[in-house]
């Protein structure tokens, strides 16, 4: 579709049409600009506002922060940049620890997700077409049912008088209930559980595309199954691995619900910290600074994800 868009070509002869065309407006521009401006206003600009507020100071008012710009007199504009919020983040141990802890938890969860999800995706990709559809539906069903409720389910399972402890006691394996809820363990379980479909689906997509005759050729040339897996299947499934890991890791770093419901109330995850700063302390500037710092860290993985996305859908960008 290289030629001028149709919507405005209807006006072709008319003065309005000619003027619009001189401004470079055609149907294509119309199509792309609607989502573009929506995203500009509701996705990009908010980040700029967060940045701005992270430089301001908290006040008891509504909204609870001071404006950045002051007209001191007719022509003099005073900009107050409060770097104190960032200094606060750096000085107070709490924030450092929370960031590092979040990254560690997200990282480990991602790896566990990969270890569980890869064999499952592989098994689905290798099954017969009928089974494949059924299995995919089975994996997708939890994905479609409420995230919140599934995390809630783990409360019932991990409680001291919950299902798992009761079962272990009934089987005589333990006498006292094991503390599982409100521990880091519970957070790991929660994250792995909730994000597993996000790992399985891209992995499956990648594995399913693979040409099985490659493995037959490898076997024909003397390769053992494990070798063929490591040298052929694994490398070819890399795009899926990367996509799955990023889809789990990036949101998991800022995860709030799971630590809030399953984790130790004292545990430090940056999502919880942000929430607390905002809702409990009503300190919007600090919350903003936390958000900006988190974003700075995630920018690189996010860009990596974008790059991988673009590569996968490379066919779309024609010259």
34 binds another protein (CB under 8 A): yes
Single residue of 61, 77, 149, 296 touching another protein by CB under 8 A: 149
Tell me how far, at minimum, the Cβ of 246 lies from another protein, in Å: 6
Tell me how far, at minimum, the Cβ of 115 lies from another protein, in Å: 10
What lies within 8 Å, CB to CB, of 279 at 6+ separation is none
Single residue of 70, 91, 309, 311 touching another protein by CB under 8 A: 309
Choose between 184 and 276: whose C-beta lies nearer to another protein: 276
Count the site residues for another protein by CB under 8 A.
Answer: 109
9 binds another protein (CB under 8 A): yes
Tell me how far, at minimum, the Cβ of 132 lies from another protein, in Å: 11
Tell me how far, at minimum, the Cβ of 32 lies from another protein, in Å: 4
Choose between 36 and 100: whose C-beta lies nearer to another protein: 36
71 binds another protein (CB under 8 A): no
Please report, as residue ranges, which positions from 165 to 224 form the binding site for another protein (by CB under 8 A).
Answer: 166, 193, 196, 212, 215-216, 219
91 binds another protein (CB under 8 A): no
81 binds another protein (CB under 8 A): no
104 binds another protein (CB under 8 A): no
3-state secondary structure the chain: CCCCCHHHHCCCCCHHHHHHHHCCCCHHHHHHHHHHHHHHHHHHHHHHHHHHHHCCCECCCCCCECCCEEECCCCCEEECCCCHHHHHHHHCHHHHHHHHHHHHHHHHHHHHHHHHHHHHHHHHHCCCHHHHHHHHHHHHHHHHCCHHHHHHHHHHHHCCCCHHHHHHHHCCCCCCCCCCCCCHHHHHHHHHHHHHHHHHHHHHHHHHCCCCHHHHHHHHCCCCHHHHHHHHHHHHCHHHHHHHHHHHHHHHHCCCHHHHHHCCCCCCCHHHHHHHHHHHCCCHHHHHHHHHHHHHHHHHHHHHHHHHHHHHCHHHCCC
Please report, as residue ranges, which positions from 242 to 281 form the binding site for another protein (by CB under 8 A).
Answer: 246-247, 250-251, 253-257, 260-261, 271, 274-275, 278-279
18 binds another protein (CB under 8 A): no
Distances (CA, A) of 161 to 155, 170, 176, 186: 10, 12, 10, 15
Single residue of 43, 71, 79, 171 touching another protein by CB under 8 A: 43
Choose between 111 and 153: whose C-beta lies nearer to another protein: 153
Tell me how far, at minimum, the Cβ of 111 lies from another protein, in Å: 16
Single residue of 2, 93, 176, 266 touching another protein by CB under 8 A: 2
Please report, as residue ranges, which positions from 45 to 64 form the binding site for another protein (by CB under 8 A).
Answer: 45-47, 49-50, 53, 63
């Amino acid at each position: 579709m290289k030629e001028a868009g149709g919507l405005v070509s209807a006006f072709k002869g008319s003065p309005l049409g000619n003027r619009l065309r001189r401004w470079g407006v055609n149907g294509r521009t119309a199509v792309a600009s609607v989502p573009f401006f929506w995203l500009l206003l509701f996705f990009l600009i908010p980040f700029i506002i967060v940045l701005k507020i992270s430089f301001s100071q908290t006040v008891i008012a509504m909204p609870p922060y001071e404006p950045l710009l002051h007209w001191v007199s007719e022509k003099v504009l005073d900009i107050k940049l409060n770097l104190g919020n960032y200094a606060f983040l750096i000085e107070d141990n709490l924030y450092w620890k929370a960031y590092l802890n979040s990254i560690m938890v997200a990282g480990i969860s991602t790896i566990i997700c990969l270890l569980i999800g890869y064999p499952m995706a592989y098994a689905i990709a290798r099954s017969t077409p009928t089974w494949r559809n059924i299995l995919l539906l089975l994996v997708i069903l939890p994905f479609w049912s409420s995230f919140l409720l599934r995390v809630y389910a783990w409360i019932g399972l991990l409680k001291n008088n919950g299902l798992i402890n009761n079962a272990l006691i009934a089987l005589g394996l333990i006498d006292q209930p094991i503390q599982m809820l409100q521990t880091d363990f519970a957070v790991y379980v929660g994250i792995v559980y909730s994000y597993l479909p996000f790992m399985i689906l891209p992995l499956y997509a990648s594995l399913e595309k693979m040409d099985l005759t490659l493995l037959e050729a490898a076997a024909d040339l003397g390769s053992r199954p494990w070798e063929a897996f490591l040298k052929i299947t694994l490398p070819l499934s890399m795009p899926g691995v990367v996509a799955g890991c990023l889809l789990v890791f990036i949101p998991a770093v800022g995860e709030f619900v799971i630590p809030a419901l399953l984790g130790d109330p004292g545990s430090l995850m940056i999502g919880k910290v942000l929430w607390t700063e905002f809702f409990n302390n009503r300190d919007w500037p600090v919350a903003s600074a936390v958000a900006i710092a988190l974003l700075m860290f995630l920018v690189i993985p996010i860009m990596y994800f974008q790059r991988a996305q673009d590569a996968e859908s490379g066919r779309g960008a024609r010259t």
